Structure 1
Amino acid sequence: MTDPDNIQRDKAIILSIIKYLLIVIVAGLLIYFGLRLFVILLPFVFGYILARVSTLIVSGVKNTVYSIRQRSSNRTAKVPDLTEAQSDRQTRPKKKIKYPHGLARSRGEKRSATVVYILLLLIFISLIVAMVLMIIGQLRSLATNLPTLFSGTDFLNRIINYIDQFSERLGGFIPPQYLQALESELSNIQQRLLQGVSTLVGSVLNGLASFAGNLPVVFFMIVVVIMSGYYFIADSRTIYAFLHRNITSRAFREKTIRLINSLFNKLFRVIGGYLLLFILTYVMAYIGLLIIRMPYAAITALIVAIVDLLPILGIAATMVPIAIYMFIQGEILSGIGALVIMLVITFIRRFIEPTIFGNAMHLHPLATLVSMIIGVGVYGLGGLLLGPIILVVVQEVITLFGIDQVLRNWLGGLLNRMSR
């Protein structure tokens, strides 16, 4: 190959690399601003999900009642009079738009769906308020008694006695000077923990103050969720008719409707599944910790439920230390009870997880963990939940619109040009 040919080939490769770099930069900017936009639209997403669930509940109850009536009644349907049928045809408006499944069909369904929607909101708000009040009460008690817990010597003496007894059983395996050094080091650790109590209490109080400062934003988001859900129920057909009139591309409109339906099913399973598993884990852990007389059971159960959502750590990351703590305290039965609680919760989760999530999440645990880490880096602690949700949305959009195939073709073409 001559030098001009090599120069042309190198120029083509460089131009291709520049083009793909520009595409990657533009895609990165779109993803970044898209993530920000998704968080802004998240209250509308929650409102739409609750509205759709309310409508589906009403439709399901209506269909169930209708089927029960059909089974219990063997009478034939009354044939309508010809004049009545003709008058109905004249007065009934013609359906020019084929509305998608999941919209309220009549005023009665809209009213019933609105009532169900209000009941769902009241249930969720009551549960959240009750949990927050209970946790705040135990945080106050913990902040008051935390110095006493760390300043006591019973826990330290038990650890030293266990180590001393273990050394005696091994025939004085640990020399006395090492035991004294260990006791001194444990005392220093205890003092450092005691000094950090004030910092911990201050951090908790600052967190509560920050949350109180963000209450107007939280209330505004709740109002947006409530109002958007109501309008999705009351004016769903009007909204769809507006989109049908302004989006002229039928293929794009059908793909968008398919995407919305698919995202609703997946997000409902993912968000509802995470929420249901969180509530079940919290309730089971709270009841179990009360049975084994674990102090501050509400806060501990909350930590257990949050850590249990993580894809790799799981419930063992919290229940095993609790069992060890109980064993050190001399509560052997309580330690065994903590392990039993861990096994019961693990068994129940393994049994109900496939039913709850179904095929909604085709995500590897590593991908879920990476999405959580990115979510925490971008959105803070709320990214633990937002990360997997955004990953599900991105995966569905890429798959439905064939973006993954386009990316594979681009990458394959670039590699082919570079290998020539």
Structure 2
Amino acid sequence: MDSLLFKRVLRGLWVVLAGAVLLLALYVLLPLIYPLLLAWMLAYLIHPLVLILKGFKLPGWLAVSLSLLFYIGGTALVLTALITRLVKELIVLLQTFDLHTGEWRDLLLSISRNASIQNIINQINQFYHENPGYHDTIDSNINRTTETVGNAVTELITGFFNMILKLISALPSLGTILMVIVLAAFFISTGWERHNARLTALLPPPLVRPVSEIWSDLRKALVGYLRAQVVLISVTAAIVIIGLLLLGVNSAFVIGLTIGLVDMVPYVGVGVVLFPWALYSYMTGDLGLAIGLLVLYAVILITRQVLEPKVLASSIGLDPLTMLIGMFAGLQLFGMLGLLLGPVLLVILDAFNRAGVFRALHSYIVSGKLH
């Protein structure tokens, strides 16, 4: 093998090995240091308010304490109000379901008595009679399908209750972790400039500028991505809530929030809720509600088509198609969590590319020098 090619291959293997070691270190250390990372993020969020309070000649510890109290207390107050409202509307929604149980039973009975359905049932019975050999096979497949569906439903319900039990049992440890995060955020924030200077001093001089550029891009892109998602979800939820209130639907608040969250799912969106609802309303004779739901879906679809490219492009700087590909790839690799992880990883890779990291690695592999 040519000497130059051999050296390039070795440098390429070294880069791959260093990347694998870095990822392994993150995988091992992240469960141990994530409270510290969350504390640093909290300190970063409250830092602007701390600076404002210090401008009023308050001591540093008091400015940090008031900022933490404002952020944590405000978040707890908003979450308490939202949860209270959601619980109230969920109770109303469950009561509404109980009221409509009779209507659904009558609807199923009317469907089963339909002439077309009866004709299909008669044809199936005739097929059974004319082909007795298929009877056992069909019954076996039906039983197997029923058993599979039953097991899936049982596992779903069991998993749900197990999740609740794990959450309840984890409350003491969650409280401890939250206390550690708040205390660490307090100490980090009181010595913000000193801690950041120490972190910067740990970096080799050639890496200071690239790391600073990467952090600047990541901060803008990730905050922009979160802002874009909040804006899009809020717009969808607001349109749904207003539309359902105009249509006279009960529990419009909780339904609107749910549909707003569902709108995050690519390809599916709000149609997975509004279309079946409109179809059910039409079948039950509520033509006005069915038409209203379809009009509401059209309004949401047009609004999203107009807003989404502009919001994503202005907040993140990535093409909407690229973001969609990232969401789909994340969904395939990591499940529902990948809908958030996919775009975040794209943003991180884009920040590395803008900072010239990939170009520098390519230069190192080819020439042995970082440029």
TM range (shorter): 0.5 to 0.7
What is the CA-CA distance between 1:236 and the residue it aligns to? 1.0
Q: CA RMSD in A?
A: 4.8
Note the alpha carbon deviations across 1:165-190, whole angstroms, 9 max, x for none: xxxxxxxxx695226669xxxxx99x
Note the alpha carbon deviations across 1:127-146, whole angstroms, 9 max, x for none: 33444455566389759968
* Equivalent position of 1:268 in the other structure: 223
* Equivalent position of 1:84 in the other structure: none
Q: Is the 1:267–1:389 contact (alpha carbons within 8 Å) kept by the matching residues of 2?
A: yes
Q: Is the 1:58–1:109 contact (alpha carbons within 8 Å) kept by the matching residues of 2?
A: no
* Equivalent position of 2:77 in the other structure: 126
Of 231-240 and 143-152, more deviation after overlay is shown by: 143-152
Tell me the number of residue pairs that the alignment of Structure 1 and Structure 2 aligns: 342
- 3-state secondary structure, aligned to 1:311: coil
- 3-state secondary structure, aligned to 2:226: helix
What is the CA-CA distance between 1:323 and the residue it aligns to? 2.0
Give distance in 2, aligned partners of 1:46 and 1:281: 29
Note the alpha carbon deviations across 1:85-133, whole angstroms, 9 max, x for none: xxxxxxxxxxxxxxxxxxx778549556754553333333333344445
1:236 lines up with 2:184 in the alignment: no
* Equivalent position of 1:212 in the other structure: 168
Give distance in 2, aligned partners of 1:348 and 1:149: 35
* Equivalent position of 1:77 in the other structure: none
Superposed structure 1 runs of 4+ greater than 6 Å apart: 11-19, 143-148, 192-199, 410-413
Note the alpha carbon deviations across 1:368-411, whole angstroms, 9 max, x for none: 321344343xxxx54543443344234323542x3322555689
Q: Is the 1:269–1:360 contact (alpha carbons within 8 Å) kept by the matching residues of 2?
A: yes
What is the CA-CA distance between 1:268 and the residue it aligns to? 1.9
What is the CA-CA distance between 1:257 and the residue it aligns to? 3.1
Residues 289 and 228 from structure 1, CA distance in 2 versus in 1: closer, same or farther, beyond 3 angstroms?
farther
* Equivalent position of 2:278 in the other structure: 323
Note the alpha carbon deviations across 1:9-62, whole angstroms, 9 max, x for none: 6x9979976875675455345335435655765555555455444444677x89
Q: Is the 2:263–2:269 contact (alpha carbons within 8 Å) kept by the matching residues of 1?
A: yes
**Residue 119 of structure 2 is aligned with which of 177, 189, 193?**
177
Residues 352 and 19 from structure 1, CA distance in 2 versus in 1: closer, same or farther, beyond 3 angstroms?
same
Q: Is the 2:271–2:297 contact (alpha carbons within 8 Å) kept by the matching residues of 1?
A: yes
Q: Is the 1:159–1:328 contact (alpha carbons within 8 Å) kept by the matching residues of 2?
A: no
Q: Unaligned regions of 5+ residues in structure 1, if any?
A: 1-7, 63-103, 165-173, 183-187, 414-420
- 3-state secondary structure, aligned to 2:316: coil
Give distance in 2, aligned partners of 1:151 and 1:128: 36
* Equivalent position of 1:285 in the other structure: 240
When Rg is computed on C-alpha atoms for both structures, the one with the higher figure is: 1
Residues 19 and 333 from structure 1, CA distance in 2 versus in 1: closer, same or farther, beyond 3 angstroms?
same
Q: Is the 1:361–1:392 contact (alpha carbons within 8 Å) kept by the matching residues of 2?
A: no
* Equivalent position of 2:358 in the other structure: 404
What is the CA-CA distance between 1:366 and the residue it aligns to? 0.7
What is the CA-CA distance between 1:314 and the residue it aligns to? 2.4
Q: Is the 1:47–1:229 contact (alpha carbons within 8 Å) kept by the matching residues of 2?
A: yes
* Equivalent position of 2:316 in the other structure: 360
What is the CA-CA distance between 1:339 and the residue it aligns to? 2.5
**Residue 311 of structure 1 is aligned with which of 250, 255, 266?**
266
Q: Is the 2:326–2:342 contact (alpha carbons within 8 Å) kept by the matching residues of 1?
A: no
Using structure 1 for the length normalisation, give the TM-score. Answer: 0.61
1:154 lines up with 2:113 in the alignment: no
**Residue 337 of structure 1 is aligned with which of 292, 300, 308?**
292
Q: Unaligned regions of 5+ residues in structure 2, if any?
A: 125-141
Q: Is the 1:146–1:197 contact (alpha carbons within 8 Å) kept by the matching residues of 2?
A: no
Amino acid in the other structure paired with 2:220: N
Note the alpha carbon deviations across 1:278-334, whole angstroms, 9 max, x for none: 445445434544554657656644542332112333222332222222222322222
Note the alpha carbon deviations across 1:334-362, whole angstroms, 9 max, x for none: 22222233334444545555347624252
Give distance in 1, aligned partners of 2:109 and 2:83: 36
Give distance in 2, aligned partners of 1:45 and 1:390: 18
Amino acid in the other structure paired with 1:257: S
Using structure 2 for the length normalisation, give the TM-score. Answer: 0.67
**Residue 374 of structure 1 is aligned with which of 300, 321, 333?**
333
